[in-house]
Amino acid sequence: AQSVTQPDIHITVSEGASLELRCNYSYGATPYLFWYVQSPGQGLQLLLKYFSGDTLVQGIKGFEAEFKRSQSSFNLRKPSVHWSDAAEYFCAVPPGEKLTFGTGTRLTIIP
Amino acid sequence: GAVVSQHPSRVICKSGTSVKIECRSLDFQATTMFWYRQFPKQSLMLMATSNEGSKATYEQGVEKDKFLINHASLTLSTLTVTSAHPEDSSFYICSASSSPEQYFGPGTRLTVT
């Protein structure tokens, strides 16, 4: 079955520092892959998605992610985080129309 | 971009009563909508797939008689929590499918007292 794993439950970074959130997938074929962000008490906002083509995907809010088939990974990166980036981040893969979410990574930003 | 709304955003109800949550796709038609439940500090758990004009498909372990889903039009799906109990208190999120993407509503916080 298709699945995603987010190894890091909680990450703390300093404002202005770089960020990488890990996501590993298990999928038979080339997957669609998504990253969502959720602020406290809010729904999910799509940051970026990978369907095919260029393996480096640019998203909103300065985020990017790189699809690496050899590592079954789709890690999310940002060169310089802002305090407003503090949130929960979810990686997801769709088996068909459904979405399977990772367990999420909570990002804390320290001044 | 596509917008999905949910109403209400917060609801408090007494144990034993029923509560209805609406999910609307505002600027596109969605033949398929999804209902998720999220416990504090946890990921989203898919409860059911709502298909316009047909019965919902429930995930394993989700009581269909307790969580009634109706998808009467291409822009509206409703989730009714029947005979609510405190353990039903949770954050409920819907999404509308524009395959292969899903667009999420802002969520509904249900508290059963």
DSSP line for chain B: ---EEEE-SEEEE-TT--EEEEEEESSS--SEEEEEEE-TTS-EEEEEEEETTS--EEPTT--TTTEEEEEEETTEEEEEE-S--GGG-EEEEEEEEETTEEEE---EEEEE-
Residue B72's pLDDT band, with cuts at 50, 70 and 90, is: confident
Q: How far apart are CA B109 and CA B13, in angstroms?
A: 11
**Smallest CA–CA separation between B66 and chain A, in Å?**
22
Q: Cβ–Cβ of B91/A41 closer than 8 Å? A: yes
CB pairs under 8 A between A and B: 48
Q: Cβ–Cβ of B106/A42 closer than 8 Å? A: yes
**pLDDT score for A1:** 67
Q: Cβ–Cβ of B102/A101 closer than 8 Å? A: no
Asked if residue B105 has pLDDT above 70, the reply is yes
Segment A38-54 mean pLDDT: 89
Asked if residue A83 has pLDDT above 70, the reply is yes
A82: nearest Cα among A61, A96, A97, A66:
A61
**Smallest CA–CA separation between A89 and chain B, in Å?**
10
Rg (CA), chain B: 13
Segment A26-40 mean pLDDT: 85
**pLDDT score for B31:** 87
- Eight-class DSSP state of A18: -
Q: Cβ–Cβ of A44/B104 closer than 8 Å? A: yes
Residue A43 touches partner B, C-beta closer than 8 Å: yes
Asked if residue A98 has pLDDT above 90, the reply is no
Q: How far apart are CA A37 and CA A17, in angstroms?
A: 19
Asked if residue A96 has pLDDT above 70, the reply is no
Joined tokens for residue B55: 């019965």
**pLDDT score for A95:** 63
Segment A24-43 mean pLDDT: 86
Asked if residue A8 has pLDDT above 70, the reply is yes
Segment A10-32 mean pLDDT: 91
A34 CB neighbours in chain B (<8 A) are 101
**Smallest CA–CA separation between B18 and chain A, in Å?**
22
